[in-house]
Chain A
Amino acid sequence: MYQYDKYDQKMVDARVAEFRDQANRRIAGELTEDQFKPLRLKNGLYLQLHAYMLRVAIPYGTLNSRQMRMLATIARKYDRGYAHFTTRQNIQYNWIKLEQAADILADLSTVEMHAIQTSGESIRNVSSDQYAGATADEIVDPRPYAELIRQATSFHPEFSYMPRKFKIAVIASDEDRAAMRLHDLGFKLVRNDKGELGFEVYVGGGMGRTPFVSPLIRDFLPVDQMFSYTEAVLRVWNRWARRDNIHKQRIKILVHEWGAEKMKEKIEAEWQEILPNASDIPRKELERIATYFEAPAFDDEAAEEIDLSDPDFKIWVDQNVRPHKHPGYAIANISLKPVKGIPGDASADQIDLMADLAEQYSFDELRVTHAQNIVFAHVKKSDLYALWQKLDAAGLAPANIDLISDIIACPGLDYCSLANARSIPVAQKIAERFSDAEAQRDLGELKLKISGCINACGHHHSGHIGILGVDRKGTENYQLLLGGSGAEDASLGKITGPGFDEDGIVNAVATTVSKYKELREDGERFLDTYRRVGMAPFKEALYD
């Protein structure tokens, strides 16, 4: 994985010193909150319901064991012994003190981590595929390109004061595991007829209060021109974004108002304008970055067989383990969704354990997924049983990846100052209702996603079943959505009808699932059945 050079380290250390000074000036009263807020947001520090909250960047969700241990240390030393993995492959801490925030950033810097551009009107953490470099279905590893764009857009003076936040994803497989088309800018690595590597470029996706699936804007962009094209996209947005209404400032609104064709024309015109002086990253630099993502030294003699005689282990393998491109290896998913647990939360001890196990079993590397789980990308099949036993002993082996209890949920009103309703208790009740392992597996892939407000951090628009918490006259109310997807078949869920109270929404999900079981045909996922039969039968079951 990528390692800082002297410039990276110098920039991060300088930012820590700068923020320490800013925080001290705020505490001393030299800065008002209005003056300080944009400065702290540039360093990932929010003020939430109970305390300051710090969001730490995990670029494209990849980190090593040393970094993971530091995340555990921070949870113990500065927080309350746990942390929350987010839907942008980051991690956040809920109980941070302003007077200690710079110390945390200094500690992070010692392991090449930071919180820069994890909030505010900036280019956020670049997302990618959690199976990058391990899955057989990718064209190449997308992470060098994600890293390149991360470097090129960090501290970029032209893009430091954007109309709003801007989110980029890079993938390299037909199967989209990063919700690429729900990003402001999405890159999908492809090869053209000549076998050359390039990108399909998608612009204008997003969730939030006005969700859109991004249209294809360019069907082939040579890889060497990734950054100049990104610049063109950002410049068009920066120039034309609506600034009269904060809710209409994202690039998706511009794409929606203009249409994809006009957006394409504008971007292409801007790109042609800047190409003569383009600041594209030299191939040599990309090659330098790519060396950090070379495949680890796989054992070519690694055994292919797995002893599945332990039935609980077999269930975990069936549900949580995915094929690896190298014989004798597998991709292991660690679910952070135990029944009665909080989606995405892990204790400091669990974080430490995962760091140790990654060091022992997965070439010292971990991935955070946008579904708030952890991935060990390169595990010998012969090590899977030992790994599972150690995970299971620590409560880290729920066998539910992509099942109904593998719920994405934002922190909701239990933690977030923007939320209108609590998400986590609803997730817990649904997970408990469907806790029967066999019944869950019988339902098959069913992605359930919950947001506590229209900002959609819980990705409810892209849930096969989505839940949106709203405030109805001071009480929590939950709308049900059906038919969304964040995958390669991206779509937006539709609201079923009037909302429900907390117990009502759990019952509504149960009713929906029962109807699916009644209607499904052989091999159909919930989403397939919904797309075949439409909303009507579900609506009838829910409201008649």
Chain B
Amino acid sequence: MKILTGNDLKTGDVIWWTGSDWSRHIEDAVDVGENFEALLHQEEAARRVNTPYAIDATATEDGPRPAHIKDRVRALGPTVRPDLTLKPADPEAGNWII
């Protein structure tokens, strides 16, 4: 699957395209197929996202899992600071990245 990501223009937060808006949670990301270029331009022009791009991901029971480790780190947060990730209460969350 292809999902869209970028950073929130004002806050810099990593965000994911949900089909109608942007979310900080990758679980909300949707498959945009192959025709996403117009959407990228539209969202960047609307200043809702900074430098959006498409990535490959795999659909899993827990939601999309990016193909590349860099995007998995982006999705969760730094593996060395679990307290600063999006799942601070889950000590196993970092395993999802590796």
Q: Which residues of A contact B (CB under 8 A)?
A: 26-27, 29, 33, 47, 49-52, 80, 95-99, 342, 413-415, 417, 419, 422, 424-425, 428, 474-476
Q: Which B1-30 residues have C-beta < 8 A from chain A?
A: 7, 9-14
6 A–B contacts from the bound complex (CB under 8 Å): A27-B10, A33-B50, A47-B12, A50-B12, A52-B12, A414-B73
Residues 28-55 of B, flagged 1 when their CB comes within 8 A of A and 0 if not, give: 0000000000000000110100110000
Assess whether B84 is interfacial by the CB under 8 Å rule: yes
Assess whether B59 is interfacial by the CB under 8 Å rule: no
Q: Which residues of A contact B73 (CB under 8 A)?
A: 49, 413-414, 422
> Which secondary structure dominates where chain B touches chain A?
loop
A476 with B69: in contact, given A27-B9, A50-B77, A51-B7 (CB under 8 Å)? yes
Q: Which residues of A contact B78 (CB under 8 A)?
A: 50, 414-415, 424
Given the complex of chains A and B, what is the CA–CA distance between A50 and B12 in angstroms?
7
Q: Say which residue of B9, B45, B69, B81 sits within 8 Å of A413 (CB atoms).
A: B69
Given the complex of chains A and B, what is the CA–CA distance between A425 and B80 in angstroms?
7
| 4 residue pairs, one from A and one from B, having the closest CB atoms | A51-B12, A414-B78, A52-B12, A99-B10
Give the A-B pair count, Cβ closer than 8 A.
Answer: 68
A97 with B69: in contact, given A47-B7, A47-B50, A425-B79 (CB under 8 Å)? no
Asked if A33 contacts B51 (CB within 8 A), the reply is: yes
Given the complex of chains A and B, what is the CA–CA distance between A474 and B77 in angstroms?
18
Asked if A99 contacts B47 (CB within 8 A), the reply is: no
Q: Say which residue of A49, A96, A474 sits within 8 Å of B67 (CB atoms).
A: A474
Residues 46-76 of B, flagged 1 when their CB comes within 8 A of A and 0 if not, give: 0100110000000000000001111001100
A50 with B74: in contact, given A29-B47, A80-B84, A342-B80 (CB under 8 Å)? yes
Given the complex of chains A and B, what is the CA–CA distance between A53 and B12 in angstroms?
9
Given the complex of chains A and B, what is the CA–CA distance between A428 and B84 in angstroms?
18
Q: Which residues of A contact B81 (CB under 8 A)?
A: 342, 414
Q: A33-B51, A50-B74, A424-B80 provided; 20 other pairs, C-beta below 8 A? A: A27-B9, A47-B50, A49-B74, A50-B12, A50-B78, A52-B12, A97-B10, A98-B10, A99-B11, A342-B80, A413-B69, A413-B70, A414-B78, A414-B79, A414-B81, A415-B78, A419-B70, A422-B73, A422-B80, A476-B69
Q: Which residues of A contact B68 (CB under 8 A)?
A: 474
Asked if B70 contacts A475 (CB within 8 A), the reply is: no
Asked if A27 contacts B47 (CB within 8 A), the reply is: yes
**From residue A26, how far is it (CB to closest CB) to chain B in Å?**
8
Q: Which residues of A contact B9 (CB under 8 A)?
A: 26-27, 98
Q: Which residues of B contact A (CB under 8 A)?
A: 7, 9-14, 44-45, 47, 50-51, 67-70, 73-74, 77-81, 84
Given the complex of chains A and B, what is the CA–CA distance between A51 and B73 in angstroms?
12
Q: Which residues of B contact A27 (CB under 8 A)?
A: 9-10, 47
Asked if A97 contacts B67 (CB within 8 A), the reply is: no
Given the complex of chains A and B, what is the CA–CA distance between A49 and B84 in angstroms?
13
Return the chain B residue nearest A34 by Cβ: B51
Asked if A50 contacts B14 (CB within 8 A), the reply is: yes
Asked if B69 contacts A98 (CB within 8 A), the reply is: no
Asked if B12 contacts A474 (CB within 8 A), the reply is: no
**From residue A8, how far is it (CB to closest CB) to chain B in Å?**
30
Given the complex of chains A and B, what is the CA–CA distance between A301 and B50 in angstroms?
61
Q: Which residues of B contact A49 (CB under 8 A)?
A: 14, 70, 73-74
Q: Say which residue of B12, B50, B70 sits within 8 Å of A96 (CB atoms).
A: B12
Q: Which residues of A contact B67 (CB under 8 A)?
A: 474
**From residue A78, how far is it (CB to closest CB) to chain B in Å?**
11
A51 with B69: in contact, given A29-B47, A414-B78 (CB under 8 Å)? no
Asked if A428 contacts B80 (CB within 8 A), the reply is: yes
**From residue A179, how far is it (CB to closest CB) to chain B in Å?**
25
Q: Which residues of B contact A475 (CB under 8 A)?
A: 69
Given the complex of chains A and B, what is the CA–CA distance between A230 and B86 in angstroms?
48
Return the chain A residue nearest B44 by Cβ: A33
Return the chain B residue nearest A23 by Cβ: B10
Given the complex of chains A and B, what is the CA–CA distance between A98 and B78 in angstroms?
20
Q: Which residues of B contact A98 (CB under 8 A)?
A: 9-12
**From residue B31, how far is it (CB to closest CB) to chain A in Å?**
20
Given the complex of chains A and B, what is the CA–CA distance between A40 and B11 in angstroms?
15
Asked if B80 contacts A414 (CB within 8 A), the reply is: yes
Return the chain B residue nearest A26 by Cβ: B9
**From residue A469, how far is it (CB to closest CB) to chain B in Å?**
11
Q: Which residues of A contact B70 (CB under 8 A)?
A: 49, 413, 417, 419
**From residue B12, how far is it (CB to closest CB) to chain A in Å?**
4
Given the complex of chains A and B, what is the CA–CA distance between A425 and B94 in angstroms?
12
**From residue B4, how far is it (CB to closest CB) to chain A in Å?**
16
Given the complex of chains A and B, what is the CA–CA distance between A424 and B81 in angstroms?
10
**From residue A373, how far is it (CB to closest CB) to chain B in Å?**
19
**From residue B66, how far is it (CB to closest CB) to chain A in Å?**
10
Q: Which residues of A contact B79 (CB under 8 A)?
A: 414, 422, 425
Return the chain A residue nearest B50 by Cβ: A33
Asked if A97 contacts B80 (CB within 8 A), the reply is: no
Return the chain B residue nearest A94 by Cβ: B78
Q: Which residues of B contact A422 (CB under 8 A)?
A: 73, 79-80
Which interface residue of A26, A95, A413 has the most chain B CB atoms within 10 A? Answer: A413
Given the complex of chains A and B, what is the CA–CA distance between A80 and B10 in angstroms?
17
